[in-house]
Structure 1
Amino acid sequence: MNNHDKIRKVAIIGYNRIPFARANTAYAKVGNQDMMIAALNGLIDKYKLKGKLLGEVAGGAVIKHTYDSNLIRECVMKTSLDPATPACDLQQACDTGIESAIYIANKIALGQIESGIAGGVDSISDIPMAVSENLRKILLDARQEKSLGGKIKQFFKLRPKDFTPLVPRNEESQTGLSMGGHTEITAKYYKISREDQDNLALKSHLNMSKAYDEGFFDDMITPFQGLDKDNNLRRDSTIEKLAKLPPAFDKTNGTLTAGNSTPLTDGASCILLASEEWAKEQGLPILAYITFAEVAAIEYVKNQQNLLLAPLFAASRMLDKAGLTLQDFDYYEIHEAFAAQVLATLKIWESPELSKELGLKKSLGAIDRNKLNVKGSSLAAAHPFAATGGRIIGVMAKLLNEKGSGRGFISICAAGGQGITMIIEK
């Protein structure tokens, strides 16, 4: 069959992840490979993929060591998939997981492959550290020396300060501000109150607690390193406890806290995508379909309040292409990097004036907030950068499959002023 003359439907077949863990807790002694392999093995076992040759596996990590340069391929080789399954690394900050899904989905839609896995992983606990620039240069010069005396002469140039390790900094290189620092500006610019941020955070924890109690996550998570649930989840969270937390970024006049912002996190997730024909051949049910996706970027150096608002542009373009309105959805999943960023997104959608000021053609209108992040989201689960996309796609696919029909809207923001939106349908 020649598949080049039509665009095929892309089915979501399965999902799996390990519990997410706050940095330097349960996964303090493991790294990206260990976590990604655990997530993949859980998917392989669940959907009987042992020995299967898949079209491709794509994913990546935002933070990784130099020896992780071929991370996803190395992980695939250490699973029970057919070792002839190709793999590649992608990286687009917090969009990495969902961008990987788009990559695999496009290949399936074009008939290039029949099946594939998309995923992502990040370890903040196993963060790489670099040496100082002066130490690096001296070590390189010493390697060029022919004699032992020449090497020693180079080493005598070293000073105590040269041995101070360089830890990656959580900041935008263009502005020197952290993501939280930018979002604090967003909260002030769009007048997002501390009370509203705390209420959104509380709802995320309450929704996720209820989802765990109802067994929603039972078939979605592979236990790992003694964890069977996300350890950032606070079942006992209250609005009073959240209100007592001090500002985390602007210590004097800030509204962002550790309670309404996501913490640094370790974790991995993956999803199984395929053509309808492949799913039928394998005897696997189709949970839902990826039908539209859009990537966008935004200027955030001069307009520092914009860092996490690129999905607003992605959503507008995507909905135009799909011929849909923002109200045509049964569920909405908006990545909760910060409560303030979610609330700013909703406020801009609802305001023709703010939409015009941002440069949007029109406001998209209000959504039913009872349909938003109904099983909790990143403020409760936490946020291992590259793994969040897989978690959110998995949740949306399961929601639609359980409902039996409908549409889901996904929005994920990312560092570097980027963002992705996606439509999933059943």
Structure 2
Amino acid sequence: MNTTHTVRKVAIVGYNRIPFARANTAYANVGNQEMMTAALDGLIDKYHLKGKLLGEVAGGAVIKHTYDNNLIRECVMKTSLDPSTPACDLQQACDTGIESAIYIANKIALGQIESGIAGGVDSISDMPIAVSEKLRKILLNARKAKSLGEKIKLFLQLRPKDLSPLVPKNEESQTGLSMGGHTEITTKHYQISREDQDNLALKSHLNMAKAYDEGFFNDMITPFNGLDKDNNLRKDSTIEKLAKLNPAFDKINGTLTAGNSTPLTDGASCILLASEEWAKEQGLPILAYITFAEIAAIEYVKNQQNLLLAPLFAASRMLEKANLNLQDFDYYEIHEAFAAQVLATLKIWESPELSTQLGLKKTLGAIDRNKLNVKGSSLAAAHPFAATGGRIIGVMAKLLNEKGSGRGFISICAAGGQGVTMIIEK
């Protein structure tokens, strides 16, 4: 423990991920452990970490099997890191990757560790399937039965409906609505047009396609399972193609489509964090620093338009602590869970009336949209829930390192009415 009460600077010194893949495509037959281990292996090879003892590795998955209960530690043991490197699982819906980075960064800042890896992974293709509650109880009781007759008597209680598998539902347990269903309510509440949503989606694809063509991602991605780039990216996307897509959630009056919403996705990412001293000792570059972060939550059961708006509160509190304005940044990365969520966020920031209605202390104002998601974001790359944070932090760190100076603002919304923001500086 750092007993001098000096908070140390936290450096981002590395990043790596595997390409993201739409569910049931390239990674249909692999799971969380394989993907997370591949992302870690790529990071270890790139930054010469083989055999090294790190302070800790933290990360997690939103969707995982019961045998993945110690997921990150199991992945660490399958890499070439010193097996004495500890690890832990965290989970905070779509905030998982960035919350893991905050966890590791705080330990470095306090002097508890010198280096660590934060990451996240999710497989929709390898989704766990549960059994009915009645079947589960009968199976548990059958284990305790003392005779074959007792077991048979238990199983005779089953009915055909009890044998139906239970697939995890993509919905909020408090409301019964999917994230897309909530965002349709947000879209109508804040009057976000279909045209604006499609334009933002198109820009995301075009920006990412250009970044790939320019080689921006060459040192950021480890090929995996036959894939060397994100397979959700549509280089040939046009506003006309996007306009032809049918609504995905509200089939009659909706504006959210498969084109302006992120698809279900598989993938993994990780970042390497360290103290300045450790980075210099290892001969590793300091790409940027994590300087501020804030987590927030919002009520969304009574006010169902609020589900993905918690980052607005996180941003306000964080900027106040940092004594910065929203306009004091060179780049902005706002997670594109849905184009409508990004547009609603921007609209509220710009409107004194909407900011007051939501309960924000002040209006943060408009940003230069030419600085927003300049290398494409989740609508193009897609969104493996826990892996998005690592992807975004890596992109922001590289942008600032290439520029040589500046500040980056990150915002990620999440299920459960939560959200996180972060400031990265060079």
Whether TM exceeds 0.5 here: the answer is yes
> What does the per-residue CA deviation read over 1:236-275, in whole Å, with 9 as the maximum and x for residues that have no partner?
1000000000000000000000000000000000000000
Shift of 1:5: 2.5
> What does the per-residue CA deviation read over 1:265-321, in whole Å, with 9 as the maximum and x for residues that have no partner?
000000000000000000001000000000000000000000000000000000000
- Does structure 1 residue 156 correspond to structure 2 residue 156? yes
> What does the per-residue CA deviation read over 1:48-85, in whole Å, with 9 as the maximum and x for residues that have no partner?
00000000000000000000000000000000000000
1:318-329 paired onto structure 2 within 5 Å: 318-329=318-329
Specify the SS of the correspondent of 1:349. Answer: helix
1:309-348 paired onto structure 2 within 5 Å: 309-348=309-348
> What does the per-residue CA deviation read over 1:113-151, in whole Å, with 9 as the maximum and x for residues that have no partner?
000000000000000000011111111121221111111
CA distance in structure 2 between the partners assigned to 1:169 and 1:265 by the alignment: 15
Counterpart in the other structure of 1:49: 49
AA at the equivalent of 1:155? F
Shift of 1:3: 5.7
Counterpart in the other structure of 2:272: 272
Counterpart in the other structure of 1:122: 122
Consecutive unaligned residues of structure 2, counting only runs of 5 or more, are none
Counterpart in the other structure of 2:146: 146
AA at the equivalent of 2:75? C
Counterpart in the other structure of 2:247: 247
Counterpart in the other structure of 2:184: 184
Specify the SS of the correspondent of 1:315. Answer: helix
- Does structure 1 residue 293 correspond to structure 2 residue 293? yes
Contact 1:55/1:114 (CA < 8 Å) preserved in 2? yes
Contact 2:2/2:110 (CA < 8 Å) preserved in 1? no
AA at the equivalent of 1:133? E
AA at the equivalent of 2:237? S
TM-score, with length taken from structure 1: 0.99
Counterpart in the other structure of 2:302: 302
Give the percent of matched residue pairs that are identical in Structure 1 and Structure 2.
Answer: 90
Specify the SS of the correspondent of 2:98. Answer: helix
Contact 2:95/2:389 (CA < 8 Å) preserved in 1? yes
CA distance in structure 2 between the partners assigned to 1:291 and 1:315 by the alignment: 14
Contact 2:298/2:307 (CA < 8 Å) preserved in 1? yes
Contact 1:10/1:105 (CA < 8 Å) preserved in 2? yes
Contact 1:4/1:110 (CA < 8 Å) preserved in 2? no
Specify the SS of the correspondent of 1:58. Answer: strand
Contact 1:4/1:111 (CA < 8 Å) preserved in 2? no
Counterpart in the other structure of 1:60: 60
Counterpart in the other structure of 2:398: 398
Specify the SS of the correspondent of 1:168. Answer: coil
Specify the SS of the correspondent of 1:245. Answer: coil
Specify the SS of the correspondent of 2:324. Answer: coil
CA distance in structure 1 between the partners assigned to 2:150 and 2:280 by the alignment: 67
AA at the equivalent of 2:214? E
CA RMSD of aligned residues (A): 0.8
CA distance in structure 2 between the partners assigned to 1:397 and 1:277 by the alignment: 19
CA distance in structure 2 between the partners assigned to 1:9 and 1:145 by the alignment: 59
CA distance in structure 1 between the partners assigned to 2:189 and 2:265 by the alignment: 28
> What does the per-residue CA deviation read over 1:132-190, in whole Å, with 9 as the maximum and x for residues that have no partner?
11111111121221111111111111111111000000000000000000000000000
Counterpart in the other structure of 2:354: 354
TM-score, with length taken from structure 2: 0.99
- Does structure 1 residue 195 correspond to structure 2 residue 195? yes
CA distance in structure 2 between the partners assigned to 1:68 and 1:277 by the alignment: 34
CA distance in structure 2 between the partners assigned to 1:115 and 1:357 by the alignment: 43
Counterpart in the other structure of 1:98: 98
CA distance in structure 1 between the partners assigned to 2:143 and 2:375 by the alignment: 55
Specify the SS of the correspondent of 2:390. Answer: helix
Contact 2:114/2:278 (CA < 8 Å) preserved in 1? yes
Counterpart in the other structure of 2:220: 220
AA at the equivalent of 1:150? E
Counterpart in the other structure of 1:407: 407
Contact 1:18/1:35 (CA < 8 Å) preserved in 2? yes
Consecutive unaligned residues of structure 1, counting only runs of 5 or more, are none
- Does structure 1 residue 419 correspond to structure 2 residue 419? yes
Counterpart in the other structure of 2:229: 229
- Does structure 1 residue 71 correspond to structure 2 residue 71? yes
Shift of 1:2: 5.8
CA distance in structure 2 between the partners assigned to 1:114 and 1:140 by the alignment: 45
What count of residue pairs does the alignment treat as equivalent?
Answer: 426
Specify the SS of the correspondent of 1:395. Answer: helix
Shift of 1:17: 0.1
Contact 2:121/2:385 (CA < 8 Å) preserved in 1? yes
AA at the equivalent of 1:41? D
The structure 1 segments of at least 4 consecutive aligned residues displaced by more than 3 Å after TM superposition are 1-4
Contact 2:330/2:406 (CA < 8 Å) preserved in 1? yes
Specify the SS of the correspondent of 1:316. Answer: helix
